[in-house]
Amino acid sequence: MEIVASFVSDYIRNLEKSTDSLLIEMEDYALKNKVPIIEVEVARFLEILVKLKKPKRILEIGTAIGYSSIIMHRAYPKSKITTIEIDEKNFLKAKEFIKKSNYTKNIDVIFADANDALEFIKADYDMIFMDAAKGQYINFFEKSVERLTKGGILVSDNILFRGLVAKEKNNVRRKNTIVKRLKEFLNMITNSEIFSTTIVPIDDGMAICYKK
Ligand SMILES: C[S@@+](CC[C@H](N)C(=O)[O-])C[C@H]1O[C@@H](n2cnc3c(N)ncnc32)[C@H](O)[C@@H]1O
């Protein structure tokens, strides 16, 4: 199930022709190896957010192969990114692609479960991008929210989870726990006194929270 009609998404995705050879290579690798990476329209959205916010430090939860890290760093080349990945194959591939991008000094990839790594991270971040296990967003949020500076933004991807979170009853039984947890997360961020939040229904849904 899609939130945005596929003919509309396809139209948006095909408007622009990729010319960046590294990003094209990463997109091909992701497709062939079934590694989920952000879609074109999410990439452009993230890029604009970074250009507007100019975050000095960005924390990313869920590196995969480093695609979104490279896009965010390019959007604001003065940014320093810390990104966490639990899967060893993805972690090694991310290191390889980041080396190719020449951003090794600016993008630090941590090989760990974010639940553990976040216990040790003591730096402050102007932007956090959450794009890992959807059922754990609340845990990641609780462990990282203190690290987000005032005026900082928290961006969470796939929060509408194919629209299932908006349904009263969910027929996809095995996804029930993720949907329940995402609903709790959305309730929390939309009713929080410390955040102004907007839910943007592009691709699989994004939440942007501004820390007051
Ligand atoms: C959707 S992909 C990230 C895509 C990436 N942000 C991009 O667009 O280029 C999600 C990644 O989160 C990782 N992940 C899942 N649970 C995690 C956890 N607890 N800690 C760290 N990484 C995790 C997965 O292995 C996967 O590579």
Beta strand segments in the chain, E:
57-61, 80-85, 107-111, 125-130, 148-157, 195-200, 206-211
Question: Residue 24's pLDDT is what?
Answer: 96
Residue 159: CB within 6 Å of ligand 1? no
Tokens of 34: 């079934």
Q: How would residue 172 be classed by pLDDT, with cut points 50, 70 and 90?
A: low
Residue 179: CB within 6 Å of ligand 1? no
Question: Residue 174's pLDDT is what?
Answer: 64
**Rounded to whole angstroms, how far apart are CA atoms 127 and 152?**
5
% of residues, the chain, pLDDT over 90:
87
Write out pLDDT tens, residues 134-160.
999 999 999 999 999 999 999 999 999
Average pLDDT of the chain, as a whole number: 95
What Rg do the C-alpha atoms of the chain give, in angstroms? Answer: 16
Say if residue 185 is exposed, middle or buried (CB neighbours under 10 Å; 0-12, 13-18, 19+). buried
Mean per-residue pLDDT, 119-147: 96
On whether the CB atoms of residues 129 and 60 are closer than 8 A, the answer is yes
173 has a pLDDT exceeding 70? no
Q: Rounded to a whole number, what is the largest CA-CA distance in the chain?
A: 48
Which residue has the CA at smallest separation from atom 14 of ligand 1? 132
On whether the CB atoms of residues 8 and 35 are closer than 8 A, the answer is no
Residue 148: CB within 6 Å of ligand 1? no
Phi, psi for 80 (deg, rounded to 5): -115, 130
Write out pLDDT tens, residues 64-85.
999 999 999 999 999 999 999 9
Question: Residue 16's pLDDT is what?
Answer: 87
> Ligand 1 centroid vs 91 CA: distance in angstroms?
10
% of residues, the chain, pLDDT over 70:
98
DSSP code, position 62: -
Q: Is the pTM of this model over 0.75?
A: yes
